[in-house]
Amino acid sequence: MQALLLHSDRDFEWERPDPPGTGDLVRDLALTTLVDAMAKGDERLHDAARGVLLAGTPDLATIRHRQGVLRDAIARPEVIRELYRLTVEAIEAERKGGIGAFFRSPSMVLTRAVELMGVLSGFLRRLRAVADREGTAFRSAGLATLFSMLRRELDERYLAEVDRSLKRLTFPGGVLMSARLGPGNAGQDYTLRRADLRRDRLARFVGRAPEGYDFTLAPRDESGARALAELRDRGVAVASGAVARSTEHVIGFFRALRSELAFYVGALNLHEALAVAGSPTCFPDAKPPGDRALSADGLCDPCLALGLGHGIVGNALEADGRDLVIVTGANRGGKSTFLRSIGLAAVMMRCGLFVAARSFAGEVPERVFTHWRREEDASLHSGKFDEELARMSATADALVPNALVLFNESFAATNEREGSEVARQIVSALLARGIRVAFVTHQYAFARAFRDRGGRATLFLRAARGENGARSFAVTEGEPLRTSYGSDLFAAVFPPMAPAVEPDPARAGR
């Protein structure tokens, strides 16, 4: 049995290393805020949310598979949460009554496995009951397949046979086995046999007990008891291994189902939190890598909305067919927030989540990378510019065609002429390799170099500024300007002083 909620043909691979650039991506896009909102303090939800967010996939079929499951989950959240609680209870029961390493003998393993399988069969019945009650209410391929599988493979006849088999394996009439003599009259080929208890009871009732030989151990015969236990272990060894494997298979299914459901429970938590914060959400129209589609309405930064607890300014974006987006304009005008909203939308789309926008359509990037400006290195191992170049080198080693790279005030640690030239050469090389770029900058020479090239491959956006210097935090299409209006910030921090009052000469002479 497989969950198949994150992939249509296989279970999700949880044990995988983080992809290159993960640390920068988490830091620059504030992904910890997003993961915390999904987890709500639950460690399992945290691990599932982080694992799926960072893994992502450019595969459209997988993205649409997850979107379908999530649409069903949003429509019937109570069912998804019920299934998740059920799997958590099943795994907790296994933890309390599992087959530990100290159960070494086959008899002990068998006894424990039968007890545990009896407990798990109760949870399987509860799963089947949910499938019977709710299965027809879901339309997504993932949940429809899951409920169909539960109804098919956990029908009443199968569950009843499991109960009968477990009852037989408690050996209420003792262990019946056969063996034959080998070299030196040593026993071999020990085989567990099914005892027909009803026939034996009937035979004893009519006085025809089965013929055989009896051997009774003396009460204090410890060596005989050990020998008898060894014989029993030889007889039940195959059965104990089979039941233990079956138990592990069932608990493995519960673990896989719990982990995959955990992602969707986290998504429900995030959806509810964004609704409370007043942020719009929508399922993105995902396009194949290389399509160069990118358009949105009401696009905003969900992490900022979660942090503030109220709605924030959303932006419209029309960047279809553009390889490069350059954002300039007023300081503290919302440029970095806008860039982060693009990155978060790409990351959330890649893992099958909704995005924070009224509408969103875009190509699914093969990978998402970030290159943000950093503070001075406190350890003094390198200067800021050297550190920026070192990070860019590490990013370049991991780049693939049709990736998305987000730059925020990069290469500004040196003078504008040198920084602009470095940025121009790096961005030109990335574009030549089929990599899409969004760049927030104050370097006019860099922006002007791409403006002078002409063509429609580059989109220029600008953070809006009112006539009185007020910031609306809207980002609209506009040519780059030579100024970023830093004087507005200076005036806000250091307001102009009132002119000094000249002393009155008449009063001064008194």
pLDDT at 387 over 80: yes
Is residue 193 situated within a structural domain? Answer: no
* Packed helices 77-97 and 60-75: angle between N→C axes, nearest 10 degrees: 100
Six-digit token string for 82: 């019920």
**Residue 406 pLDDT greater than 60, yes or no:** yes
Q: What is the pLDDT of residue 160?
A: 86
Q: Do 134 and 259 belong together in one domain?
A: yes
| CA–CA gap between residue 257 and residue 421 (Å, rounded) | 52
| Residue 198 binned pLDDT confidence (cut-offs 50, 70, 90) | low
Span 97-149, pLDDT tens digits: 655 544 567 777 777 877 888 888 899 999 999 999 998 889 999 999 999 99
| Distance set, CA 409 to CA 233, 367, 414, 449 (Å) | 71, 21, 12, 16
- Do 271 and 414 share a structural domain? no
Query: Are 371 and 471 found together in one domain?
Result: yes
The predicted pLDDT at position 101 comes to: 45
- Structure confidence at residue 485 (pLDDT): 52
The dihedral built from the CA positions of residue 52, 58, 59 and 63, taken in this order, carries a sign that is: positive
Higher per-residue confidence, 473 vs 200: 473
Q: Are residues 369 and 260 in the same domain?
A: no
Q: How much is the pLDDT for 382?
A: 65
Contacts of residue 7, defined as CB under 8 A and 6 or more positions apart, other chains included, come to 62, 65
| 350 lies in the same domain as 443 | yes
Query: Are residue 261 and residue 300 in the same domain, yes or no?
Result: no
Tell whether 65 and 133 lie within a shared domain. yes
For residues 273 and 264, give the distance between their C-alpha atoms in angstroms, rounded to a whole number.
Answer: 14
Asked if 264 and 16 touch (Cβ cutoff 8 Å), the reply is: no
Q: What are phi and psi of 140, to 5 degrees?
A: -70, 150
Task: Please check whether residues 149 and 287 belong to one and the same domain.
Answer: no
Q: Kindly state the tokens that stand for 448.
A: 């002007």
| Same domain as 446, residue 320 | yes
Count of Cβ atoms closer than 10 Å to residue 277 Cβ: 20
Show the domain range for 64: 57-170+249-275
**pTM of the predicted protein model:** 0.84
Residue 268 belongs to some domain of the structure: yes
Mean pLDDT within 314-326: 96
Q: Per-residue DSSP letters for 341-379?
A: HHHHHHHHHHTT--BSSSEEEEE--S-EEEEE-----TT
Same domain, 255 and 318: no
Residue 211 lies in a domain: no
464 phi/psi in degrees, rounded to 5: -70, 150
The stretch 182-208 carries a mean pLDDT of: 63
pLDDT of the residue at 423: 96
- pLDDT band for position 493 (cuts 50, 70, 90): low
pLDDT at 489: 47
Q: What is the mean pLDDT of the chain?
A: 85
CATH classification of the domain holding 370: 3.40.50.300
What beta strand segments (E) does 385-465 contain? 404-408, 436-440, 458-465
How buried is residue 185: exposed, middle or buried, by Cβ count under 10 Å (0-12/13-18/19+)?
Answer: exposed
Instruction: Choose between 242 and 68: higher pLDDT.
Output: 68
DSSP, collapsed to helix, strand or coil, labels residue 8 as coil
pLDDT at 506: 60
Residue 70 has pLDDT above 70, yes or no: yes
Residue 213 pLDDT exceeds 70: no
- Using a pLDDT cut of 90, give the percent of the chain over it: 58
- Tally Cβ neighbours within 10 Å of residue 82: 15
| Burial class of residue 351 in the structure, from the number of CB atoms within 10 Å of its CB (0-12 exposed, 13-18 middle, 19+ buried) | buried
State the DSSP H helix or E strand holding residue 318, giving kind and residue range, or none if neither.
strand 315-318
What count of Cα atoms within 13 Å lies in the side-chain half-sphere of residue 431?
17
Of 128-142, 160-174, 359-373, which range is least confident?
160-174
Q: Give the count of domains, the chain.
A: 2
Asked if residue 153 is part of any domain, the answer here is: yes
